[in-house]
Structure 1
Amino acid sequence: MQNPITTLQNLLAADGPLARAWPGFQVRPPQTELARQVETALQSRRSVILEAPTGSGKTLAYLLPVLVSHRRVIVSVGNLTLQDHLLQGEYQKLRLALPQLRSMFVLKGCDNYLCAWRWAELQSDMGGRGLDPALQAALPVVRDWLRGTRDGDIQSLPLAAPVRAQVRPLVTIGSEQCRGADCAYFHSCFFQRARQRAATAEVLLINHRLLLSDRRLHSRGLGALLPGAEAVIVDEAHQLPDLLLQHNLDVMEEYRVQRWMRALEQLIQPQAGLYPEFQPLLRQLQRLWRHIGAQLQENAASQPLIPVDGASLAPLANLLQRLRQWLALLQAAALPVNQYVEPLQQWSELLQRAREPGQVLYADLGSQGLRLLSPRVLNPFSSLAQDATAWVFLSATLRVAGSFDFFRRALSLPALPNWHHNTGLDHREQALLWLPDELPVPGAEGFYQAWLERLQPILRQLDGGILLLFSSHQVLQQCAALLTDMTGRPLLVQTPQGDRQRLLRQFRQSPQSVLLATGSFWEGIDVQGTALRCVAIDKLPFVAPDDPLALAWRQQAAERGGSWFDDYMVPQAVIRLRQGVGRLLRGPADQGLVVIGDRRLVDKPYGQRFLNSLPVMPRARQWAEVADFLRQRDLLRATPGL
């Protein structure tokens, strides 16, 4: 039998089948070495942590060994968009070049598939006549789509993205509402069909949220969402620490409580006469929830998160306990209420735990109503040492100042072998890091006005596109308004409801434009050549101290010991900054400038941890040094300002 690693070397060779099938294919040493590391882990059933540099072609490097192996493998990527991108992009290209490769099946969470029960309810509700005209017009489109769809994936609905987003909650269902085997449509359910196909898939493609849901159930001894596998490849693994904390953040929020009550009341309504005390309990819950929100609002200061004394919520905890007793009676009477039990149990546990010493509970009075938040520390990866499955954690940014310690600590991983490849890109020659001097500290009055004024020479003179990365949408919009009068370049501005891919296409096609972005634009975007010559970052991307994620880090530090700022907040921001800086150079022909407007990189002791984590490249403090660098590489416009 041919050695799989030898096969990989042949596939990735300069005269191999991929080079013949793909014009412009280049042999990349980091890619070949990474593929070898993944293949070794698969063959030896050994878990490993791998860091591959930006521009190394890591997707191809792990997909090839997975698809040529005989192992049953789960591949997890960061989100739904990346699932679709990998399946329709790299995987399809590979299958065209190498038709003999194994097939891959995609599984998403249940709220990504049309729910036949919800659709039937919507149809029976006077055909949706109570909806606004745009949604009413969309229903025939859904009906026609249903006749032809094979998988029921909402993403394939032929509707404009904003309309599809409005239709989605009408025709999908969350896991807390899903009736499972009790549903009359169980055997025709798109999600259940997908799970059945996933159970027999040789290679299964999922996303991290589904992976963490499965690990959480597994760690609590409650079964599993995913089938067993001999190996799990976790791409973009740097996202796991934050996602794990979000997953471990127990939340009781108004819209879920209201949705839970409405669905349960609808279920009980036909037999309300048999259970006369139950519906009054639901109405009492609604009144009490509103009363708690009003009390907190009355006493709230300006901060978005309000500490709450768990003992003050005793009436709510007692009411939830009475509802749990009633649900037990309804279960005994064979009513299909199983899907309502778990959320009620989680809310009860949240309130119970909030009364224990050392536990914290916060209230958030946002636009969607009252939310109660309680972080806790669960370690679903701590048992990996005894796991027969090989886990491969992979990303371009797992190390902080050269160490994997933060990643291991954040996931409670056992001591695992690790490997990294130094970047194949020459940052010393291709890039410059500009840290403008004499800027105010971020947060000080006038910082953003001063920051944008320092960028004026770049806006006027740089030949190429500019990406401005921010940590909040609010600041982004403020800077967009200021820039309108400060530059003659086309401005592309990300909005919360905007189409990310469309914005990226516009940016690539308009190589002198300025793109203002936040969120997902910090990572996972690939813009090469003149279209991107400068990445400018306003400040170090720390999570806000009152963000629920920061609260979760604080709770984790309290339980494990150490400094929540030094051991968690700084490393998390370092990883984020590495991702943002990594947008600039995507290939050996790229060159340009990174600008960071945060003087704390130089003034604060922790700033050195950030600088030591970035690729080694020359630094400048004055515009004259920057201009020399750009001039030497012919990156300045012949006529500034045009």
Structure 2
Amino acid sequence: MKPNDYIAQIFDNGGLLSRQFEGYQPRPGQIQLARAIDKAIQTGDNVLVEAPTGTGKSVGYLVPAAYHLTVGADDLLAARASSDDDGFDPEDDQDPTPPPRAVIVTANIALQEQLITKDVPRLQSIVPWEFTAAIAKGRANYLCLHRFDETSADVLLDPIRDPEDRERWNLLAKWKETTKTGDLSELTFELSPLLRQKAAVSADDCIGKACSRSDECFSQRARLAVQNADLIVTNYHMLCSHLAFVNEFGRGILPRFDILVLDEAHALPDVARDFFGFRVSSGAIAYAVRSMASSKWKGSCPFKPQLRDELMRAADEFFEDLRAYKNGPVYFARLKEPDPVDATRLISLLEECRDAQVGVASSNVDPERAEQLRKAARKCRIHAENIRRAMKNEQVGKEVNEVFYIEEHGKGVALCCKPVKVAGILQSTIWENAGIRATIATSATLAHDNGPDALGYFAEEVGADDAEQLVVQSPFKFDEQALLVIPSGLPDPKDRNFSELVAHVIAEAVDQADGRSLVLCTSYKTLSAAYDVLERRFGHRFTILRQGQAPRTQLIARFKEDLHSVLVGTKSFWEGVDVQGESLSCTIIDKIPFDSPDDPINDAMNEILGQKAFSEYAMPRASIALRQGFGRLIRSLTDRGVVVMCDKRLIEKPFGKTILRALPKTKMSRDINNIRAFLAGKR
């Protein structure tokens, strides 16, 4: 061990971790990860690291981050001072020379909570360096006292309100009196989307200093805690908000930071596409003009009678026209011609409502109401601009850089937009940002194959072409712990009856595994077919759970607790399901998870890349997604289980064999009857 080798002092046998955990064994991959991050921070480089499940990824990046924030703080400050353009506005911090900070970004709030409540406090109790940590979430995750006061009467006095909503609102009112944080994740009951909208506000709706309760604001208190923290744990939506502010205003919503760790980084491209696009619906327009309703005003309403009603009629007509166009013979995947429907009247009325709200805001109204109207006017302006841009669709005949498409949701329709590529904005705001000393992107699944350029697809997607690349070896012995079964006699995935046919194959695998199975489907049609067959055949033997029966977290908890249960889900269950032990002994996957042909980004990439689209876009995405699903099975050194792949293309098609090579190396069988023997411990 070298003198001052803090990584060895933490991770080696006899180190600080071994003194805390009985039976501790150093993980070579974890140490390799920590050393790669340490080097990146020292040299000011960026690095992409695939660190498989079991590596101990969070501790692997938290240790070097914490060390450099404390022991290495002077070096970080010196590096910051030498930067020509730090990329941050000093007004973001109360201190003109703030101390070094690290930002850890995760894929969702549940992972944030795990880091801030478990991983970080555990590390703080072990390492000899003192550092503080805080969680950064969007305003909509906190109770807004002003919004609560404003909407309580609506909820409690509405005669057609669901009685359960009123009961939960009363519970919320009691919680409001005792909570110290106002963080809605503390609630022990679910708030419906409508109640949540009445209890919280987004950053776009917050009226800031004009609010009469700003001194009590829970969100503002949380933001102050973030300003004072050494290590900030946030999510990709917050990071994208920050990047958008940096891009537009030259300053961000997060305070200045020197180290950026992107955990679950495979999620970044799609989150960025969603964030930097738009989505406008009749409901969104109604929300933007809610302050114009006469019921919102005591006394006479200052707005022109019928204006709001005219706008909503025009909105309803526009979105019905969009629905008809989507279901007509021309539309496929996205808008490919200008002016598919007439939006002239809707845009004109949105602009009239904007002007009306600005006018009233400038008159003699109280500051809170004025700020609300200015925010609402801004929404009207943005909706009008987005609809105009989508209808003009000026990129027709040119290279596609964004897609406009129509999305049906329940009884409604939305007009949506996404950028096709986000590499440019991520490159300028992250990888080439001189104010960030080092950016580390890590995930269990960044590689799309096992070749020399395994991380090349991900690097290109996020604009990190010049970053160092590292793939850490898995600590698991897949050849002993796992069996891959690709049953013989599988139906063709292109068969119109594939869902019904494969449901019976899934049932055979569940029978062999004695329940204990996670079934991952690529479509709701297959999910329904599989659930129906499983419930009919095994409902008396096993608990059959399906996506949509209950909140996701509850379904996973029930699946863990009931040893012989079966959980059937689609896309949201391919990631983030961490069930160790016998409850998840078999993962069953219906087919290779290619994007649907009518996915707008997929369709645009086909146009841009032509014949190369399949090998350069569709295959890498499917490979990474399949590796995510495969990764649900083996979660610890003692786990043992079977992955059943119901897609014969993995062994019959050249592209399938390429994708198969990217999966962990396991024993393979074509006989579905081998599942029971393998799980019983027979080799």
Task: Name the TM-score, length of structure 2 as normaliser.
Answer: 0.83
Percent identical? 27
- Paired letter, 1:352: R
- Shift in Å at residue 132 of structure 1? 2.9
1:175-212 alpha-carbon deviations (Å, 9 max, x no partner): 33222233222232211222222122111111111111
2 CA distance for matches of 1:436 and 1:213? 46
- Equivalences for 1:420-459 in 2 at 5 Å? 420-442=471-493, 444-455=495-506, 458-459=509-510
Contact 1:310 1:351 in 2 (8 A): no
1 CA distance for matches of 2:479 and 2:550? 36
1:344 aligned onto 2:344 = no
1:385 aligned onto 2:432 = yes
2 CA distance for matches of 1:24 and 1:506? 30
2 CA distance for matches of 1:344 and 1:497? 37
- Equivalences for 1:43-192 in 2 at 5 Å? 43-70=42-69, 71-98=100-127, 101-125=130-154, 127-130=156-159, 131-158=161-188, 160-161=189-190, 163=191, 167-192=195-220
1 CA distance for matches of 2:124 and 2:103? 18
1:244-282 alpha-carbon deviations (Å, 9 max, x no partner): 122233211222211111135479846966553xx5433
SS at match of 2:555: helix
C-alpha distance 622-267 of structure 1, shift in aligned 2 (>3 A): same
2 CA distance for matches of 1:142 and 1:499? 19
1:354-401 alpha-carbon deviations (Å, 9 max, x no partner): 211326533334315221112234532121224331211110101111
- Shift in Å at residue 304 of structure 1? 9.4
Further displaced range: 263-272 or 281-290: 263-272
- Shift in Å at residue 531 of structure 1? 2.5
SS at match of 2:595: coil
Map of 2:395 onto structure 1? 357
1:87-112 alpha-carbon deviations (Å, 9 max, x no partner): 22223333444585422101111111
1:569-593 alpha-carbon deviations (Å, 9 max, x no partner): 3222211110110111222322221
Map of 2:663 onto structure 1? 614
Contact 2:596 2:602 in 1 (8 A): no
- Equivalences for 1:521-540 in 2 at 5 Å? 521-540=573-592
Further displaced range: 215-224 or 531-540: 215-224
- Shift in Å at residue 626 of structure 1? 5.7
Contact 1:250 1:376 in 2 (8 A): no
C-alpha distance 224-555 of structure 1, shift in aligned 2 (>3 A): farther
1:366 maps to which of 405, 409, 415: 409
SS at match of 2:406: strand
- Shift in Å at residue 77 of structure 1? 0.6
C-alpha distance 609-387 of structure 1, shift in aligned 2 (>3 A): farther
SS at match of 2:536: coil
Contact 1:157 1:164 in 2 (8 A): no
- Paired letter, 1:362: Y
1 CA distance for matches of 2:243 and 2:605? 18
- Paired letter, 1:385: E
2 CA distance for matches of 1:173 and 1:590? 43
C-alpha distance 501-376 of structure 1, shift in aligned 2 (>3 A): closer
Map of 1:225 onto structure 2? 253
- Paired letter, 1:291: E
1:486 maps to which of 537, 542, 545: 537
User: Where in structure 1 do 4 or more consecutive aligned residues deviate above 6 Å?
Assistant: 302-306, 559-562
Map of 2:86 onto structure 1? none
- Paired letter, 2:142: Y
2 CA distance for matches of 1:3 and 1:414? 35
2 CA distance for matches of 1:614 and 1:565? 19
Contact 2:10 2:127 in 1 (8 A): no
2 CA distance for matches of 1:507 and 1:634? 26
SS at match of 2:278: strand
C-alpha distance 453-562 of structure 1, shift in aligned 2 (>3 A): closer
C-alpha distance 462-357 of structure 1, shift in aligned 2 (>3 A): closer
C-alpha distance 450-535 of structure 1, shift in aligned 2 (>3 A): same
2:624 maps to which of 552, 558, 575: 575
- Equivalences for 1:292-371 in 2 at 5 Å? 292-298=318-324, 301=327, 307=335, 310-311=338-339, 312-330=342-360, 332-333=362-363, 335-336=370-371, 337-354=373-390, 355=392, 356-358=394-396, 360-371=403-414
Contact 2:147 2:199 in 1 (8 A): yes
Map of 1:638 onto structure 2? none
1:416 maps to which of 461, 467, 472: 467
Contact 2:20 2:126 in 1 (8 A): yes
Further displaced range: 34-43 or 314-323: 314-323
Contact 1:39 1:65 in 2 (8 A): yes
1:399 maps to which of 447, 453, 464: 447
Map of 2:88 onto structure 1? none
C-alpha distance 177-308 of structure 1, shift in aligned 2 (>3 A): farther
- Shift in Å at residue 81 of structure 1? 1.2
C-alpha distance 349-634 of structure 1, shift in aligned 2 (>3 A): same
1 CA distance for matches of 2:166 and 2:513? 49
Map of 2:89 onto structure 1? none
2 CA distance for matches of 1:243 and 1:490? 36
C-alpha distance 579-602 of structure 1, shift in aligned 2 (>3 A): same
1:41-84 alpha-carbon deviations (Å, 9 max, x no partner): 23333221111112111112112222333241111111111111
Map of 2:601 onto structure 1? 552
Contact 1:397 1:579 in 2 (8 A): yes
- Paired letter, 2:118: G
Contact 1:528 1:587 in 2 (8 A): yes
2 CA distance for matches of 1:361 and 1:271? 43
1:607-641 alpha-carbon deviations (Å, 9 max, x no partner): 2331122112232223466677556x338xxxxxx
- Paired letter, 2:17: L
1:216 maps to which of 236, 239, 244: 244
SS at match of 1:484: helix
Contact 1:249 1:552 in 2 (8 A): no
1:26 aligned onto 2:77 = no
Contact 1:73 1:203 in 2 (8 A): yes
2 CA distance for matches of 1:205 and 1:3? 31
Please report the RMSD computed on the Cα atoms of aligned residues, expressed in angstroms.
3.0
Further displaced range: 396-405 or 448-457: 448-457
1:506-557 alpha-carbon deviations (Å, 9 max, x no partner): 33333333222333321223222322222110111123233xxx31344467
2 CA distance for matches of 1:545 and 1:315? 34
SS at match of 2:425: coil
Map of 1:519 onto structure 2? 571
C-alpha distance 615-388 of structure 1, shift in aligned 2 (>3 A): same
Further displaced range: 198-207 or 173-182: 173-182
C-alpha distance 68-561 of structure 1, shift in aligned 2 (>3 A): farther
In structure 2, runs of 5+ residues without a counterpart are 70-99, 397-401
2 CA distance for matches of 1:478 and 1:457? 14
SS at match of 2:493: coil
